[in-house]
Chain A
Amino acid sequence: MTGVADTRPGALAVRGLRTVFASPAGPLTAVDGVDLDLAPGEILGLVGESGSGKSVTLRSLLRLVRPPGRIAGEVLWGGRDLLGLRPGELRRVRGREIATVFQEPMTALNPVLTVGRQIDESLRAHTGLDARGRRARGVDLLDLVGIPAPATRLADYPHQFSGGMRQRAMIAIALAGEPRLLLADEPTTALDVTIQDQILKLILALRARLGMGVILVTHDLGVVAQSCDRVAVMYAGRIVETGPVAALFAEPRHAYTRGLIGSVPRAGGERRPLLSIDGTPPGLGARPAGCAFHPRCGFATDACRREAPPLAAVAPGREAAGREAPGREAACWHHAAVAAAGIEAPVPEPA
């Protein structure tokens, strides 16, 4: 299990987070006991297949899940449990200390208000600035996120912005309260690759400049490799592996992570079969017993079918020989065998 919670300002420690939706067919557990740690100013990637619970996890941290969703566990933000705060206290944390950017900028921005007005509202909610101060800050913020001629763009409506500019505007609004933590759910998924690259570089620059931590939900392992310090891999509502990006990519310790990484084409392996993962993720109501990944796992044994492996520390791998790679955890009974198998696909037999 994850160790003692970091209670420094700007640190986040999630323990046993569980989010359950009521449904006619019975309770559906979307997040099933998630533990996460984020040091102040760290960028953590949260990856996993569609439906694995990434977005619900992110929303649960700030209690942004609507009924019939119920959240349990602990979300320790600088030592304070956000899940125990009164609504008024939580509102002061949202936006000011922890801000969010979600995937669809067109639905997240209000189409009938100018971009300037929306930044202004965010500044009004999170700062004590007067009208003139807010306007000046609005210009600064648009400039900070790389929108050219910011003073003239404040009067534009969202539809007058390109997709990339809307995402920048969303980030500007999120930054208005100078948050210490940014929760970003697929902030670049809808964007073209050159624009995605610009936004990721922007987030990295902002982290360096403002010392802000980031949890970045993405399904693109390349995005993780290029922007995160650590990564947590989610499967069927649980974290199955976490560790520093370079170490985890070089030597995954959970069979699901191995399959994910092996599914991504890499240079040198052209036109050869990819590792891939058989089958599809389980539905919410149909979580397999034991390790939830076992029906798709080539390493599975009876132990896997019987009992769910805990997320536990694993020794730094071969790749770390002589180097530091602490903080590696995996929830896999056979993590040593997985590590030894490597990420190359087996060469198929000639037909």
Chain B
Amino acid sequence: MSAAPLLSLEDVVVRFPLRRTVMDRLARRPARAVHALNGVRLDLHRGETLGLVGESGCGKSTLARAVVRLLDPDDGRVRFEGQDIAGLVGAARRGFNKRVQMVFQDPYGSLNPRMTVRQVLHEALSVHRMRPRAAIPGRIAELLDLVRLPPDSADRLPHQFSGGQRQRIGIARALAVEPDLLVADELVSALDVSVQAQVVNLLLDLQGRLGLTVLFVAHDLRLVRHISHRVAVMYLGSVMEVGDTEALFSAPRHPYTRALLDAAPDLDPARRTAVAAARGELPSPLAVPSGCPFHTRCPHAFDRCRTERPVLAPRGPAGRAACHLEGFGAPA
């Protein structure tokens, strides 16, 4: 893609320092930190859905929070339309807060239990002065219709809805301010598959109709494949591979992507295997392995992998992978 990205992460680093205990001080152990993001480079293009996958603790939520500026990187930048978002103040900051919206995994935690749906949407609309006062009731009805909630839901409280309906309220609140970018962190992970499917269908429909850009964070590969135009795979704070969904799923160019795809339980009982796809456990993010972070579990690791960190380099027409084996997964 040649057009300037809507948002880009440039070598973003986020660390969470651990509190040193008395014992640490006595033993003169150095301060330790969780390395949540270790120099992430990623572009989000206008109108696309970018899926972000990886196992728990790999930094997906941290990345999502950096994108909406719920936290500031320790190093590197997040640029929105070319501007470093850390430098935004005043009206520019408010504009960014409006144009980039996040919907959360936990619909209970993110909705005030004592506010009706109408109050929730009213607040979102008036904070950003989206509509003249008189037009607000009409807009609320439109929004409920958009996320396919019955009109009479406006005066109900969150606990009177099912999990899937609460996710729709969260989506309606985010859409109230007509954002350009929607960041969805594990939006449907807690829902039953039938309800997941309802929300996924809604998201696909809205994206097409409103031309939204979506960052879809999830650990479920099937969902990510279904919904995303492009996919980025993370491991221990680094992007291991990024590419067009079809290419990445049919011919992954990174051994970790390969392992992740092989480990995901296939819906087809005929494609059963007896051997586990990946060996070993996830290393602690307190002690990210040297060199390639995947080398402790990679079946292809060689000496160089233990010392030298591979950079995210082009693979195929539109992909990138961070692996010393340039030819891994290449068509024969």
The interface of chain A, by Cβ under 8 A from chain B, is: 49-50, 162, 164-165, 192-198, 200-201, 204-205, 219-223, 225-227, 245-246, 249, 259-260, 262-267, 269-278, 280-281, 351
Contact residues on B (Cβ < 8 Å of other chain), bracket: 35 or more
**Which of B7-15, B75-83, B223-231, B323-331 is the contact stretch?**
B223-231
Q: How long is the Cα–Cα vector from A263 to B192 in the complex, in angstroms?
A: 10
Contact yes or no, A276 B198, CB < 8 A:
yes
Contact yes or no, A192 B282, CB < 8 A:
yes
The residue on A at minimum CB distance from B198 is: A276
Partner of A264, one of B267, B270, B273: B267
Can you give 10 A-B contacts (C-beta < 8 A)?
A49-B192, A165-B281, A197-B263, A197-B276, A226-B266, A267-B225, A273-B204, A276-B200, A276-B201, A280-B164
B275 at the interface (CB under 8 A from A): yes
Q: How long is the Cα–Cα vector from A94 to B320 in the complex, in angstroms?
A: 53
- List chain A residues, Cβ under 8 A from B204: 271-273
B221 at the interface (CB under 8 A from A): yes
Q: How long is the Cα–Cα vector from A316 to B204 in the complex, in angstroms?
A: 36
**Nearest CB of chain B from residue A147's CB, rounded to whole Å:** 10
Assuming A165-B281, A260-B194, A273-B201, is B266 touching A225 (CB within 8 A)? yes
Tell me which residues from 185 to 206 in chain B have a Cβ below 8 Å from any Cβ of chain A: 192-198, 200-201, 204-205
B160 at the interface (CB under 8 A from A): no
Given A194-B276, A201-B274, 17 additional A-B pairs, CB 8 A: A162-B281, A193-B221, A197-B262, A197-B265, A198-B276, A204-B274, A221-B193, A222-B265, A225-B265, A225-B268, A225-B272, A226-B266, A260-B193, A262-B197, A263-B196, A264-B267, A266-B222
Contact yes or no, A197 B277, CB < 8 A:
yes
Q: How long is the Cα–Cα vector from A227 to B272 in the complex, in angstroms?
A: 8
Assuming A245-B269, A263-B194, A264-B222, is B200 touching A222 (CB within 8 A)? no
Nearest 7 CB-CB pairings of A with B: A222-B265, A265-B226, A276-B197, A263-B197, A197-B263, A277-B194, A274-B197
Contact yes or no, A192 B192, CB < 8 A:
no
B157 at the interface (CB under 8 A from A): no
The residue on A at minimum CB distance from B224 is: A265
B55 at the interface (CB under 8 A from A): yes
Assuming A195-B281, A197-B277, A276-B201, is B222 touching A226 (CB within 8 A)? no
The residue on B at minimum CB distance from A259 is: B194
Chain A-chain B contacts (Cβ-Cβ < 8 Å), number: 129
Contact yes or no, B267 A270, CB < 8 A:
no
Tell me which residues from 243 to 299 in chain B have a Cβ below 8 Å from any Cβ of chain A: 245-246, 249, 259-260, 262-270, 272-278, 281-282
- List chain B residues, Cβ under 8 A from A165: 281
